[in-house]
Amino acid sequence: MNELSAATAQLAPEQITRVLFEGFAPAAVALFYCIGFAAIGAFLWGCYVQVRKYRRGQPVPDLLDGLAARFWQMVATVLTHRTVERRDPAAGRAHRLIFFGFALLFVGTSIITLQEDILDALFGIKFWYGDFYLWFSLVLDLAGVALIVGLVYMMVRRGWIRPPKLDYARPDRQPGDSDYDRSAYRREDWAFLWTLVIIGLTGFVLEAARLVWLQDRPGVWSTRAWAPVGAALAEAMRAGGLPAEAAGTLRAGLWWFHGLLALVFIALVPRTKVKHIFTAMGSLMFRDPLAAQRLPKLAEEATKAGAPVGYARITDLTWKHLLNLDACTKCGKCHEACPARAGGAPLSPRDLILSLREHSRRTLESNLVGGAGGASELDIHGGKPGQVSNETLWSCRTCMACVEICPVAVEHVPIIVQMRRKLVEGGEMDPLLQKTLQTIHKSGNSFGESKRKRGGWTKALAFPVKDARKEPVDVLWFVGDYASFDPRNQKVTQTFARLLHAAGVDFGILYDAESNAGNDVRRVGEEGLYEHLAESNVAALGAAGFQRIVTTDPHSFNTIRNEYPQFGGRYRIDHYTSFLVELVAQGRLQLSGRLAYRTTYHDPCHLGRFNKEFDAPRDLLRRTGCELIEMPRSRDNSFCCGAGGGRIWIPDPVGKEKPAQIRIREAAQIEGLELFVVACPKDLTMFEDAVKTTGNEGKIVVKELLELLEECAVRDRAPQEAVVH
Ligand code: SF4
Ligand code: SF4
């Protein structure tokens, strides 16, 4: 660089720059500008069509609140690439190279345009020379390298590594169906990669040809080290005997090819996958961190009078959900994580989003909403191209695995539930599900038991459980349906009562004033019944005196914590695991640590993924002395038991593997595993069944964490007898 400094020191700074249109006739330059303006016009028109499409969706209330904070959060997510890297770090790193390479090259091109076409043309201001130009040149050279390296890795990944999530095989259609074939997506992916690679490579060759062409001009050859890749290619050209004149001809031809390809690329941005650059940023900016945990009330949906319940037509989607459809990059992470898809159900969250996207493009991008087919074309339910079948919608377990992993904040679960609302309204559901909903409506619980029997499990205890409606308590225990009525779970419920009693906790329950919390009813799409249940529970809780709520049921925990505030019910609520960790810290619950089972722990979706409680159950399990071996899928990547979203009330199709069976087989891979530990009543039911149906009876035992805690609870407190049973 010292030699270089000496060489550049001889030059005036203005001599250190790059020629742009030198060698082109004025007519050619004019033609280039005309094509450039046409490309920008096509880009702007395409943007207009997209924005018009989103505006054909429904409004979203309060979305503009905290816009600045949303913006910076989006910027941080994009710059760190943290969502892109998750569970696929190599692809994430490659995408980062592509993103930053592309962004820097775009900024570089914009800087040239700013000087040449605006500042210099209008005001005679020049800055693109001297040291600024040299650094500019170096940064853009490195950016080009980053771009090409990232793109080449993506090509290798698609062409040779071929992860199954990128094969676009769709489970919701049969081969031979008119819309089964998604090879067009593959072609688009390859066209995207090749176009950018060619733009990048021709940029380097163009630079090299310019260096050779103008090698004798002061400030060109002597500064080549600031464009190391172009310089290396130029050296090779010279070594190959390329004369300066021929290099000039090559440069002129490549200049047109490179420039026109870049302009076509720009023009097509709004119509190709390239637009995810913008739609993904928009989707991330308007991300709802509680999208799956807190579903929208009916009143919060479309404000148009007479709007249908749920999503029946593509125009019923909010503009944000329409934007979500276009933000999808087809990365397949949701497809890979989906337990329904893994079990062979006709559902892939990615394909559902792509179907709706195809539908929105066909019907909402033309001048007339619905295109030539009019309003009937807008229906999104059914088996036609772009529509989603009932079977697909009912396959969802609302486990949130898709929403949680999506790098661009697509909200699959709210979209699915909104579509289910329309099905429920029309009675298009499994007869058993319909019957269960009627049962809940009539009796307030899914077991069809009399309300009076809700507290029946307390009778087997050696102490009374307070009625929180009659006397104030410190802790109100919201028990939930499964923990109240299912005989196996009742035993666990009694265990928790004994632990609370032994710890001296002043607790009580609502007895027959408690109703099904409604979490799963809401996710089925029966919003009317959900509102009835939520209002009834909020009223019952309002009539009781307590400081805080605790529950053993993650489903009740989720809806009371995240959704009851929509109905005026704001409470301090804990799942039993975090509550017991507190008791342990206070010395009110002492664990001997004498157990030595080899265990694994299953994170319930509604506790882990939904409410980010991963540590408390593990903390308690370790305190029992048990050895904890994690399954490959754990914590936020935990695999669903299959009970959520009302699926526990719908018979699983015969011949298909159930998510709980897949999970037990995963656990069975752990050598010497003795206990499969859960912290959810529905998990207990689902996994005990799966142990039997997978032939693991006698090999793996499913235990509620509470049962292990009681097994090693130290019995030295006053109400000690209560723990002994
Ligand atoms: S919520 Fe779960 S089951 Fe439903 S589509 Fe998403 S990943 Fe699949
Ligand atoms: S919805 Fe999200 S996770 Fe699924 S394929 Fe699209 S971008 Fe990937």
The total of other beta-carbon atoms located within 10 Å of residue 260's CB is 14
Please report which ligand is nearest the Cα atom of 349: 1
**Spatial CA neighbour of 171 closest among 422, 430, 367, 347:** 347
Query: Whose alpha carbon is nearest atom 3 of ligand 2?
Result: 406
Distances (CA, A) of 579 to 448, 586, 683, 715: 30, 11, 20, 19
Are the C-beta atoms of 722 and 501 separated by less than 8 Å?
A: yes
Probe ligand 1: pick from 640, 648, 652, 658, max atoms within 8 Å of CB? 640
Q: How far apart are CA 722 and CA 501, in angstroms?
A: 7
Q: How confident is the model at residue 367 (pLDDT cuts 50, 70, 90)?
A: confident
Q: How confident is the model at residue 307 (pLDDT cuts 50, 70, 90)?
A: low
The angle that helices 576-585 and 615-623 make with each other, rounded to 10 degrees, is 50
Confidence check: pLDDT of 1 > 70: no
pLDDT tens digits along 666-689: 999 999 999 999 999 999 999 999
**Spatial CA neighbour of 317 closest among 389, 394, 421, 409:** 421
pLDDT tens digits along 401-424: 999 999 999 999 999 999 999 999
Q: Name the phi and psi angles at 571, rounded to 5.
A: -135, 155
> What residues have CB less than 8 Å from 171, skipping those under 6 apart?
341, 344, 345, 346, 347, 348, 351
Q: How confident is the model at residue 721 (pLDDT cuts 50, 70, 90)?
A: very low
Q: How far apart are CA 654 and CA 7, in angstroms?
A: 79
Here the contacts of 640-643 (C-beta below 8 Å, separation 24 or greater) are 640/339, 640/397, 640/399, 640/401, 640/605, 641/602, 641/604, 641/605, 641/680, 641/682, 641/683, 641/686, 641/687, 642/339, 642/343, 642/397, 642/686, 643/397, 643/682, 643/683, 643/685, 643/686
**Spatial CA neighbour of 201 closest among 254, 277, 272:** 254
Atom of ligand 1 nearest to the CA of 401: 7
Confidence check: pLDDT of 10 > 80: no
Would you give the DSSP letter of residue 574? E
Mean pLDDT of 310-315: 96
pLDDT tens digits along 324-343: 999 999 999 999 999 999 99
Mean pLDDT of 131-158: 97
Confidence check: pLDDT of 282 > 70: yes
pLDDT tens digits along 548-588: 999 999 999 999 999 999 999 999 999 999 999 999 999 99
> What is the structure's pLDDT at 297?
93
**Measured in whole angstroms, how far is the alpha carbon of residue 655 from the centre of its chain?**
30
pLDDT tens digits along 459-518: 999 999 999 999 999 999 999 999 999 999 999 999 999 999 999 999 999 999 999 999
Q: Which residues of 395-545 form beta strands (DSSP E)?
A: 466-467, 475-477, 507-509
AA identity, residue 397 = R
Centre of ligand 2 to C-alpha 95, Å, is 15
Q: What percent of the chain has pLDDT over 90?
A: 89
The total of other beta-carbon atoms located within 10 Å of residue 612's CB is 11
Any ligand 2 atom below 6 A from CB of 429 = no
Helix (H) or strand (E) holding 130: helix 130-156
> What is the structure's pLDDT at 298?
85
Confidence check: pLDDT of 28 > 90: yes
Q: How far apart are CA 605 and CA 602, in angstroms?
A: 9
Antiparallel, parallel or unpaired: β 675-678 and 475-477: unpaired
Helix (H) or strand (E) holding 675: strand 675-678
Would you give the DSSP letter of residue 464? -
**Spatial CA neighbour of 406 closest among 209, 212, 609:** 609
Q: How confident is the model at residue 371 (pLDDT cuts 50, 70, 90)?
A: confident
> What is the structure's pLDDT at 302?
46
Any ligand 2 atom below 6 A from CB of 334 = yes
> What is the structure's pLDDT at 91?
97
Q: How far apart are CA 171 and CA 705, in angstroms?
A: 36
**Helices and strands in the chain: count of H runs, count of E runs:** 28, 9
**Spatial CA neighbour of 250 closest among 300, 211, 304, 223:** 211
pLDDT tens digits along 522-552: 999 999 999 999 999 999 999 999 999 999 9
Mean pLDDT of 377-388: 94
Radius of gyration (Cα) for the chain, nearest Å?
Answer: 31
Taken in order 171, 174, 175, 181, the sign of the CA dihedral is negative
Taken in order 24, 28, 29, 33, the sign of the CA dihedral is negative
Are the C-beta atoms of 74 and 333 separated by less than 8 Å?
A: no
> What is the structure's pLDDT at 391?
96
Mean pLDDT of 308-320: 94
Confidence check: pLDDT of 720 > 70: no
Confidence check: pLDDT of 100 > 90: yes
Centre of ligand 1 to C-alpha 676, Å, is 23
Centre of ligand 2 to C-alpha 328, Å, is 5
Q: How far apart are CA 561 and CA 564, in angstroms?
A: 6
Mean pLDDT of 103-117: 95
Average pLDDT over all residues of the chain: 94
Judging by beta carbons within 10 Å of its beta carbon (0-12, 13-18, 19+), is residue 349 exposed, middle or buried? buried
Centre of ligand 2 to C-alpha 180, Å, is 19
Centre of ligand 2 to C-alpha 165, Å, is 10
Distances (CA, A) of 395 to 311, 324, 338: 17, 21, 10
Q: How confident is the model at residue 724 (pLDDT cuts 50, 70, 90)?
A: very low
pLDDT tens digits along 204-258: 999 999 999 999 999 899 999 999 999 999 999 999 999 999 999 999 999 999 9
> What residues have CB less than 8 Å from 412, skipping those under 6 apart?
334, 349, 352, 353, 402, 403, 406
Confidence check: pLDDT of 178 > 60: yes
Q: Name the phi and psi angles at 328, rounded to 5.
A: -55, 130
Probe ligand 2: pick from 84, 350, 413, max atoms within 8 Å of CB? 350
Any ligand 2 atom below 6 A from CB of 355 = no
Query: Whose alpha carbon is nearest atom 4 of ligand 1?
Result: 396
Are the C-beta atoms of 442 and 349 separated by less than 8 Å?
A: no
Would you give the DSSP letter of residue 296? P
End-to-end CA distance of the chain: 83
> What is the structure's pLDDT at 656?
86
Judging by beta carbons within 10 Å of its beta carbon (0-12, 13-18, 19+), is residue 54 exposed, middle or buried? buried
AA identity, residue 130 = G
Mean pLDDT of 376-380: 92
Provide the token pair at 305: 């009078």
Q: How confident is the model at residue 7 (pLDDT cuts 50, 70, 90)?
A: low
**Helices (DSSP H) in 471-614: which residue ranges?**
481-485, 487-502, 519-524, 527-543, 554-558, 576-585
Q: How far apart are CA 252 and CA 26, in angstroms?
A: 14
Any ligand 2 atom below 6 A from CB of 227 = no
Q: How far apart are CA 500 and CA 492, in angstroms?
A: 12
Query: Whose alpha carbon is nearest atom 2 of ligand 1?
Result: 399
Angle at 442 between CA 436 and CA 448, to 5 degrees: 55
Any ligand 2 atom below 6 A from CB of 273 = no
> 282 has which bridge partners?
none
Please report which ligand is nearest the Cα atom of 339: 1
> What is the structure's pLDDT at 171?
94
Residues with C-beta less than 6 Å from any ligand 1 atom: 337-340, 347, 349, 396-402, 412-413
3-state secondary structure 209-247: HHHHHCCCCCCCHHHHHHCHHHHHHHHHHHHCCCCHHHH
Mean pLDDT of 603-629: 98
Confidence check: pLDDT of 438 > 60: yes
Q: How far apart are CA 603 and CA 658, in angstroms?
A: 17
> What residues have CB less than 8 Å from 635, skipping those under 6 apart?
603, 608, 614
Query: Whose alpha carbon is nearest atom 8 of ligand 2?
Result: 331
Q: How far apart are CA 77 and CA 621, in angstroms?
A: 34
Centre of ligand 1 to C-alpha 552, Å, is 24
AA identity, residue 77 = T
Residue 646: CA atoms inside 13 Å, Cβ hemisphere, count? Answer: 30
Any ligand 2 atom below 6 A from CB of 42 = no
Q: Please report where in the chains the tokens 């995810």 appear, as a residue.
A: 276
φ/ψ region of 635 (left if φ > 0, alpha if ψ in -120 to 50, else beta) reads left
> What residues have CB less than 8 Å from 581, skipping those under 6 apart?
616, 619, 620
Q: How confident is the model at residue 725 (pLDDT cuts 50, 70, 90)?
A: very low
DSSP states along 254-278: HHHHHHHHHHHHHHHGGGSGGGHHH
pLDDT tens digits along 49-95: 999 999 999 999 888 888 999 999 999 999 999 999 999 999 999 99
> What is the structure's pLDDT at 713?
95
**Measured in whole angstroms, how far is the alpha carbon of residue 190 from the centre of its chain?**
24
Q: How far apart are CA 295 and CA 414, in angstroms?
A: 6
Atom of ligand 2 nearest to the CA of 335: 4
Q: Coil, strand, or helix at residue 673?
A: coil
Q: What percent of the chain has pLDDT over 70?
A: 96
